[in-house]
Chain A
Amino acid sequence: MQHAWRAASGPRPRPAPNHRLGGPRQPRGLVCSILQVNASLQPSRAALIARLRDERPLARLRTLGKVELDPPLYRCFPPPLCVRGTSGAVPQQLPLVTGRQEEEEEEGLGGRMGLLSILRKLKSAPDQEVRILLLGLDNAGKTTLLKQLASEDISHITPTQGFNIKSVQSQGFKLNVWDIGGQRKIRPYWRNYFENTDILIYVIDSADRKRFEETGQELAELLEEEKLSCVPVLVFANKQDLLTAAPASEIAEGLNLHTIRDRVWQIQSCSALTGEGVQDGMNWVCKNVNAKKK
């Protein structure tokens, strides 16, 4: 069963007529939105790059280039990166392309590709698998976050011995999320799970100020790991529902996140308990899946 991810709030812009996509889809589980640039209204590549240069990191530009050079591929595979709506181009906010929609879209284009489209269908891989590693100190809220992502009940959570794993399907991506226990005793086992990680999510209990130093140290050590080099990192400043929670900006400063130069990173304040902010963080994850520098 595929989860349809879409924006939770705000009206959805009407799709252009040549995009005959299915009706409104039921949001299930995690909700996230992906913005696509409408193919028919795409401005010239140079203009787009120029527009994006001032606000997006380099990794984005690179993938955008690929997308533009090879439009058929773009339609075959889910867009690895998303382009935020810029003033000139009218952004189309559409659910990510799934198999069924693809077919409809092609018929809509008059089937002008014939054999090519069949070949493309053969080539089009199943959902791209993404390995996400969820780390952080004990009691940071990793398991709650994992269960929130999988839309499971979060009221009976117990401390994690070992690890939990869940797969969350989203259009185009199969997110395999590994939640590893954060207890000091089992932190040495973390490294067994580093291999082939696409995204690292580091969870911090924003209200546990006494352990900011400890959590900062663990994160710094992770960032120095060779197997995790260049892996995009998302820091969740969790437990924002608590009054004593430190704001994300304060945590970012305390952890010296701005000194990270070798990878894309993001800090996102959230509450795994209420679900607030989780979706925004996962949007970022989807956008940066392929930003791992080789």
Chain B
Amino acid sequence: MFISLWEFFYENFFRYWMKWILRQMTGKCELQRIFDTYVGAQRTHRIENSLTYSKNKVLQEATHVMQGEVDKRVEDIMKEKNINPEKDASFKICMKACLLQISGYKQLYVDVENERKKPYDSDNLQHEKLLLKLWNLLMPKNKLKARISKQWADIGFQGDDPKTDFRGMGILGLINLVYFSENYTTVAHQILSRSNHPKLGYSYAIVGINLTEMAYSLLKSEALKFYLYNFVPGIPTMEHFHQFYCYLVYEFDKFWFEEKPESIMYFNLYREKFHEKIKRLLLDSNVALTLKI
């Protein structure tokens, strides 16, 4: 009750007064003060908040700006805020970088969601090619005898035809699996052979699809913001999402064998534990999660 009352007053009155007082004292607007004080993800995050809560329409809509319009939008903001480009030369560069990161994150979610919504389609030649590519990357020595075959279970699909396993993650799940196998082939082979452990083993491919879901839900809940703002100086792309997925696969495998679960039946329990761990790491504004081999 008190908190919501405070929030109401803060957002409507105090914030405005404080900003006015600080502006008079420093001669700089809030955006400039943020650039002076913070770097990395904190800077972008604070700029984003400042823009979102702004009462000025130009500033408010800046977080949804299209990539091609960033330059113009920066100039609009400078005009709106009376910032002299000669006095504060760095403002333009910093603001542009921040806007690219902020709008890029939103665009990345749209792109990822688009891939996720595309179901795996066996009539689509590209999808079929990608699936066979996955097999060849993971099993270079064993030839796949038929498209529908029990062999798929060797790389951790559930049945004879992997197409039913992609489900809610659609083609995104397959793209993630292929990306990891292609860019970290040796690690992928190690993890695949570990996943065949008689006691601690798990189903490589469907655990991978589960981790796609984890990466996707973290992106959706905006938990990946600090990570991407630190990791990518410009526009975050699909590539960066795949990189994060690779980190998850590698770390999950390590986590699983450290925890030594009693059986695969406890998968969801450990998955949740791992999820919490990652969420905790992502809360740190200096977070930098990279796959270290």
B112 interface hit (Cβ, 8 Å) = no
The yes or no answer to B83 lying at the interface (CB within 8 A) is no
Q: What separation, in Å, do the CA atoms of A78 and B106 have in the docked complex? A: 51
Tell whether, in the assembled complex, residue A159 and residue B167 are in contact, meaning their CB atoms are under 8 Å apart: yes
Determine how close the nearest CB of chain A comes to the CB of B126; give it in whole angstroms.
Answer: 22
Main secondary structure, interface of A, reads loop
Main secondary structure of the interface of B (DSSP, over half): helix
8 Å CB contact of B159 from A156, A161, A162, A184: A184
User: B53-61, B233-241, B259-267: which lies at the A interface?
Assistant: B259-267
Total residue contacts A-B, CB cutoff 8 A: 72
Query: Digit string of A247-281 for contact with B (CB within 8 Å is 1, else 0)?
Result: 00000000000000000000000000000000000
Interface string of A20-61 (1 = CB under 8 A from B): 000000000000000000000000000000000000000000
Q: Please determine whether A162 and B267 come into contact, CB atoms closer than 8 angstroms.
A: yes
Chain B, residue nearest A186 (CB): B264
The docked-state distance in angstroms from the alpha carbon of A161 to that of B195 is 13
Pairwise interchain contact A163-B206, C-beta atoms closer than 8 A = no
Size band of the interface chain A makes with B: 20 to 34
Contact pick for A161, options B153, B164, B173, B202, CB 8 Å: B202
In the complex with contacts A138-B158, A139-B158, A139-B159, A156-B168 CB distance below 8 A: yes
The answer to whether B169 has its CB under 8 Å from any CB of chain A is yes
Chain A residues near B134 (CB, 8 Å)?
none
> Which of B33-41, B44-52, B94-102, B207-215 forms contacts with chain A?
B207-215
Residue of B nearest to A183 (CB): B158
Residues of A within 8 Å of B105, CB to CB, are: none
CB within 8 Å of B: which A183-222 residues: 183-186, 189, 192
A161-B203 contact, Cβ under 8 Å, with A156-B213, A156-B217, A186-B265? yes
Q: Find out whether the CB atom of A158 lies under 8 angstroms from the CB atom of B210.
A: yes
Interface residues of B in 216-268 (CB under 8 A from A): 216-217, 263-268
Task: Specify which of B165, B173, B265 is in contact with A192 (CB 8 Å cutoff).
Answer: B265
User: Most chain-B Cβ atoms within 10 A of its Cβ — which of A139, A158, A163, A184?
Assistant: A158
- Chain B 181-212: CB-based contact to A (< 8 A → 1; otherwise 0): 00000000000000000000011001101101
Q: Mark A151-180, 1 if CB is under 8 A from B, else 0.
A: 000111111111110000000000000000
Nearest Cβ distance between residue B256 and chain A, in whole angstroms?
11
Known: A158-B168, A161-B207, A189-B265. A184 touches B153 (CB 8 A): yes
- Taking the nearest CB of chain B, how far is it from the CB of A244, in angstroms? 14
User: What residues of B have a CB within 8 angstroms of the CB of A155 in the complex?
Assistant: 168
Residues in A with CB closer than 8 Å to B158 are 138-139, 159, 182-185
Per-position binary interface string of chain B over residues 131-160, scored 1 when its CB falls under 8 Å from any chain A CB and 0 otherwise: 000000000000000000000010000110
Q: Which residues of A contact B173 (CB under 8 A)?
A: 158
In the bound complex, CA of A159 to CA of B158 (Å): 8
Instruction: Give A contacts to B, CB under 8 Å.
Output: 137-139, 154-164, 182-186, 189, 192
In the assembled complex, 23 residue pairs joining A and B whose CB atoms fall closer than 8 Å, in A order, are: A138-B159, A138-B165, A156-B169, A158-B167, A158-B169, A158-B173, A158-B209, A159-B209, A159-B210, A161-B202, A161-B207, A161-B210, A161-B264, A162-B266, A162-B268, A162-B269, A182-B158, A183-B206, A184-B153, A185-B153, A185-B203, A186-B264, A186-B265
User: Sorted from nearest, which 3 A-B pairs have the closest CB atoms?
Assistant: A161-B267, A162-B267, A139-B164
